Amino acid sequence: MAEINLGPGRVGNQRPLSPHLQIYRPMLTMMMSIAHRITGAALYFGTLLLAWYLIAAAAGPDAFATASHFFNSILGKLILLGFTWALFHHFLGGIRHWIWDAGHGFDPAGRELLAQATLVGGLVLTILVWIAACFVG
């Protein structure tokens, strides 16, 4: 507890300090919550890139060639890979929250299972989409 010295002869209200990040031990559910927020922000920027691509397609062959060149570069493909993972991770995190809204998965084992399913599912779906894209493209 925090010591509060109010002077001689006075008894203070001794309250514990509020917990902070240095006290909490990182847990998978905490990391998935943080990742859900980060992927939400990443989807915003990824959507801007998608809008750039679609506008370039409508603007003409020169603009489309510029956008296509960017997305076919190594950096562009890494960004698209990250966008794909963020999309699936955020989607599965939303399903996890929907399950919680229905009143299920609140026990420790259920929370851990849903967090693991979100993590593994996002990775597996991303890999499957990129494998399919390699076969089609």
CATH at 100: 1.20.1300.10
Q: Residue 23: its pLDDT value, please?
A: 72
Q: What percent of the chain has pLDDT over 90?
A: 76
Residue 129 lies in a domain: yes
Would 47 be classed as within a structural domain? yes
Domain count, the chain: 1
**pLDDT tens, 31-73?**
999 999 999 999 999 999 999 999 999 999 999 999 999 999 9
Q: Give the separation between CA 126 and CA 108, rounded to whole angstroms.
A: 27
Task: Answer whether residue 6 is part of any domain.
Answer: no
- Predicted confidence (pLDDT) at residue 21 exceeds the cutoff of 80: no
Dihedral of CA atoms 79, 80, 82, 87 in degrees, nearest 10, equals 140
Give pLDDT tens digits for 79-114. 999 999 999 999 999 999 999 999 999 999 999 999
* Inside any domain, residue 82: yes
The verdict on residue 7 lying in a domain is: no
Q: In which domain, by residue range, is 51 found?
A: 28-136
pLDDT over 80 at 116, yes or no = yes
Range of weakest confidence among 7-11, 19-23, 130-134: 7-11
Higher pLDDT, 10 or 113: 113
The answer for residues whose C-beta is within 8 angstroms of residue 22's C-beta and 6 or more apart is: none
- pLDDT for res 2: 53
89 membership: H or E segment, kind and range: helix 74-101
